[in-house]
């Protein structure tokens, strides 16, 4: 049975899709030569990151929500997120403190390491998206795999983390103007539906880093 979408929602969806397509090529920082991440160096300097992002099921202490899965994201998105934590466009004291100590090259290197092999869309979403998520798929993909490397993939991400991120856009903890405007229209029930759809139903999925590593245990030459 085909889901009917109200004409007003279709109009907004079209505007968002066009905006996303336009921003896809402009959200990366303007540089003569885009920074190329060195995953080997990223591994060498990421031991503090793995203290949270390398533990399956690890939760932020307060407020309590799951630390996001990173493996499978695009490195461009991870780098942009770290830059936002560094600048304060994303409000998180621990992440700001960590990112403030990183150069642009460090950020590119860490992003390359944590991304691993980015997810590739299979073009087969698990069912039609619920009405609350019809705008989300314009950027984040029908199956939760982002349409551009500067957008986050959501497939298999922790449900409570997705909900928390949307809430931060609603309340100003994250400054992205597109997400802020979209999130402002959502009710709590909508957020729950969106988080569940991407977290539980879509494949392939993001995963938690399974790379136990510290500077003390690294093998020489790795």
pLDDT digits (tens, 9 = 90+) for 87-137: 999 999 999 999 999 999 999 999 999 999 999 999 889 889 999 999 999
- C-alpha separations of 161 from 60, 66, 200, 202, 212 in Å: 10, 6, 13, 16, 23
Q: Residue 17 — very low, low, confident or very high, per pLDDT cuts 50/70/90?
A: very low
Q: Residue 15 — very low, low, confident or very high, per pLDDT cuts 50/70/90?
A: very low
Average pLDDT over residues 74-81: 98
Summarised one tens digit per residue, pLDDT across range 161-188 is: 999 999 999 999 999 999 999 999 999 9
d(CA 11, CA 91): 32
The pLDDT value given to residue 207: 96
Average pLDDT over residues 64-69: 97
DSSP for 53-110, please give it.
Answer: HTSTT-EETTTTEEPPP-BTS-HHHHHHHHHHHHHTSB--HHHHHHHHT--HHHHHHH
Q: Residue 32 — very low, low, confident or very high, per pLDDT cuts 50/70/90?
A: low
Look at residue 124 and give its three-state secondary structure: coil
Which residues neighbour 193 within 8 Å (Cβ) at sequence distance 6 or greater? Answer: 130, 132, 133
Q: In sequence order, what are the beta bridge partners of 65? A: 60
Polymer length of the chain: 222
Q: In sequence order, what are the beta bridge partners of 90? A: 174
Q: Residue 210 — very low, low, confident or very high, per pLDDT cuts 50/70/90?
A: confident
Q: Is 212 a residue whose pLDDT tops 90?
A: no
Architecture in CATH for domain 37-119+127-201? Orthogonal Bundle (1.10)
Which residues neighbour 212 within 8 Å (Cβ) at sequence distance 6 or greater? Answer: 50, 54
Domain spans in the chain, listed from the N-terminal domain onward = 37-119+127-201
- C-alpha separations of 128 from 2, 109, 201 in Å: 9, 37, 11
């Amino acid at each position: 049975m085909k889901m009917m979408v109200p004409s007003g929602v279709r109009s907004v969806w079209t505007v968002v899709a066009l905006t996303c397509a336009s921003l896809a090529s402009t959200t990366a920082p303007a540089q003569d030569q885009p920074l190329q991440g060195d995953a080997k160096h990223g591994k060498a300097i990421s031991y503090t990151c793995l203290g949270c992002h390398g533990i399956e099921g690890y939760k932020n202490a307060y407020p309590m929500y799951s630390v996001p899965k990173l493996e499978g994201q695009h490195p461009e998105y991870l780098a942009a997120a770290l830059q936002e934590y560094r600048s304060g466009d994303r409000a998180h004291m621990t992440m700001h403190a960590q990112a403030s100590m990183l150069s642009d090259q460090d950020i590119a290197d860490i992003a390359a390491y944590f991304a691993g092999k980015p997810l590739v869309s299979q073009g087969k979403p698990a069912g039609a998206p619920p009405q609350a998520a019809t705008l989300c798929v314009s950027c984040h993909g029908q199956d939760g795999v982002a349409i551009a490397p500067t957008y986050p993939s959501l497939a298999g991400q922790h449900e409570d983390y997705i909900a928390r991120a949307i809430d931060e856009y609603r309340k100003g903890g994250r400054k992205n103007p597109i997400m802020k405007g979209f999130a402002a229209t959502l009710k709590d029930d909508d957020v729950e539906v969106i988080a569940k759809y991407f977290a539980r139903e879509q494949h392939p999925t993001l995963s938690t880093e399974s790379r136990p590593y510290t500077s003390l245990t690294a093998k020489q030459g790795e």
